[in-house]
C-alpha cells in the first residue's frame, strides 16, 4: 500500500470505511511518485486529526465525513492538495484553504444511488419490510398491514437534481407529487411534474415527505417542531440529504409520541451514529448509515477522478478546482 522512499509525496485517503478506495482508479500511476496511507475510520477529535495528517502533502476526503474548517487547515502547513469526492463539500472552508495555499479539487457526483435508496426506504416503511424481516427471523408471520402508494401524495422538499428524479418515480407509482423550497417557482415545479405548494401545505398534505436540500445556514433546522406538528399521523418522513436539516429532538419526540407513522433516516448530525444514540431504540424509525452514494458505480467515478486530480496536480495542470463562493 505504501512505497518507502523519502522523496515521495505523502497521500492520506480518509474514511475508507469498506477498505475499497484503492480498488478503483489507476493508483499504480500514483505509487511511482507518492506513498499512500488509507484510514478506515473517522478521526473526529481535532488534535488527533491534526497529528494524524501533519505529515501528508495530499489528503483525499470522502464527501463530508471529515470536516476541514479553518482551525484544522491552519495546523497542516505541509498540506498542498485536498481532494474531495463530489463536486462540492461544505465541510471544507475553501476561503481558509485558499489563504493557506491549499488547492481543493473535486470529482463528479452521480445521483442515481441516492434516488434509488430514497425509494428503497420509502417502500420499506410503507410495507414494513424491515420489521417483517426481523419478525420472520424470530418465528413470526405477517404482523402488520402495509400501505399502498398509488393515489397517495408525495411531498418533495427541494426539487433539484435528486428531488426531480425522486418525483418522477413517485409519478410512476401513481402518486400526486407536490413540492416546495424557498426559491422554487411554479413553472420549475411543473417542469418536473410537481405542483408547487406553500411550506405549510407541503407538511400538511404529504403522505410521504422526502427531503432533498443542500445543507446551508438557510436549511439547517428547517424541519423542526412546528413543521413536524403539521404532518399527518399516518405520514412518513424520509431524509437522505443531510442530518441537520431536521432537528433531531423534534423528530425524536414525534416518533416517541407516534405523532407521525414513521421515519427513514440515512443522515445524522453526528456520523458515524454513536452506539448509544437514542435513534437506535425507536422501532418506528428505519436507519441506514449514510449510504445513498455508497455504490460501486459512484466509487468508480469518485476514485478514478481522484487519481486524475492528483496526477494533474503532480504535473502542474490541476483540474476540477473548487473555489470559494463569491456571494
Distance CA(2)–CA(102), nearest Å, equals 23
Is the bond leading into 272 cis (omega within 30 degrees of zero)?
yes
88's grid cell: 462540492
Whether 85 and 106 have beta carbons less than 8 Å apart is answered as yes
Catalytic residue among 271, 277, 300, 320: 271
Within the chain, where are the H helices? 28-31, 46-53, 70-73, 94-99, 112-126, 129-137, 161-172, 186-191, 199-205, 225-229, 248-256, 296-315
**What is the maximum span of the chain, computed from C-alpha positions, in angstroms?**
65
129's grid cell: 419490510
Question: Is-catalytic flag, 242?
Answer: yes
Distance CA(160)–CA(181), nearest Å, equals 10
Question: Is-catalytic flag, 220?
Answer: no
Catalytic residue among 65, 212, 227, 242: 242
10 Å Cβ neighbour count for 141?
7
* Selection from 279, 325, 322 nearest residue 88 by Cα: 322
Question: Is-catalytic flag, 201?
Answer: no
Whether 122 and 146 have beta carbons less than 8 Å apart is answered as no
Q: Give me the active site residues, please.
A: 242, 271, 290
Amino acid at each position: 500500500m505504501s512505497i518507502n522512499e523519502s522523496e515521495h509525496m505523502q497521500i492520506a485517503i480518509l474514511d475508507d470505511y469498506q477498505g475499497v478506495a484503492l480498488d478503483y482508479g489507476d493508483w499504480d500511476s500514483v505509487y511511482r511518485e507518492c506513498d499512500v496511507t488509507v484510514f478506515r475510520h473517522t478521526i473526529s477529535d481535532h488534535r488527533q486529526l491534526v497529528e494524524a495528517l501533519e505529515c501528508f502533502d495530499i489528503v483525499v476526503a470522502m464527501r463530508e465525513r471529515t470536516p476541514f474548517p479553518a482551525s484544522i487547515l491552519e495546523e497542516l502547513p505541509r498540506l498542498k492538495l485536498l481532494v474531495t469526492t463530489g463536486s462540492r463539500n461544505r465541510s471544507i472552508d475553501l476561503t481558509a484553504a485558499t489563504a493557506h495555499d491549499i488547492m481543493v479539487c473535486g470529482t463528479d457526483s452521480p445521483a442515481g444511488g441516492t434516488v434509488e435508496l430514497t425509494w428503497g426506504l420509502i417502500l420499506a416503511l410503507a410495507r414494513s419490510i424491515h420489521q417483517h424481516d426481523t419478525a420472520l427471523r424470530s418465528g413470526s408471520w405477517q404482523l402488520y398491514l402495509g400501505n399502498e402508494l398509488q393515489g397517495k401524495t408525495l411531498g418533495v422538499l427541494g426539487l433539484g437534481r435528486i428531488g426531480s428524479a425522486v418525483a418522477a418515480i413517485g409519478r410512476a407509482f401513481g402518486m400526486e407529487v407536490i413540492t416546495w423550497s424557498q426559491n422554487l417557482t411554479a413553472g420549475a415545479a411543473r417542469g418536473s411534474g410537481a405542483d408547487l405548494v406553500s411550506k405549510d401545505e407541503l407538511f400538511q398534505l404529504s403522505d410521504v415527505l422526502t427531503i432533498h436540500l443542500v445543507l446551508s445556514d438557510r436549511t439547517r433546522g428547517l424541519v423542526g417542531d412546528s413543521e413536524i406538528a403539521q404532518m399527518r399521523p399516518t405520514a412518513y418522513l424520509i431524509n437522505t440529504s443531510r442530518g441537520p436539516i431536521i432537528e433531531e429532538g423534534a423528530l425524536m419526540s414525534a416518533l416517541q409520541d407516534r405523532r407521525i407513522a414513521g421515519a427513514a433516516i440515512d443522515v445524522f448530525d453526528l456520523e458515524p451514529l454513536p452506539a448509544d444514540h437514542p435513534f437506535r431504540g425507536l422501532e418506528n424509525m428505519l436507519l441506514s448509515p449514510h449510504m445513498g452514494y455508497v455504490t460501486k458505480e459512484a466509487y468508480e467515478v469518485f476514485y478514478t477522478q481522484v487519481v486524475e486530480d492528483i496526477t494533474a496536480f503532480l504535473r502542474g495542470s490541476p483540474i476540477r478546482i473548487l473555489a470559494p463562493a463569491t456571494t
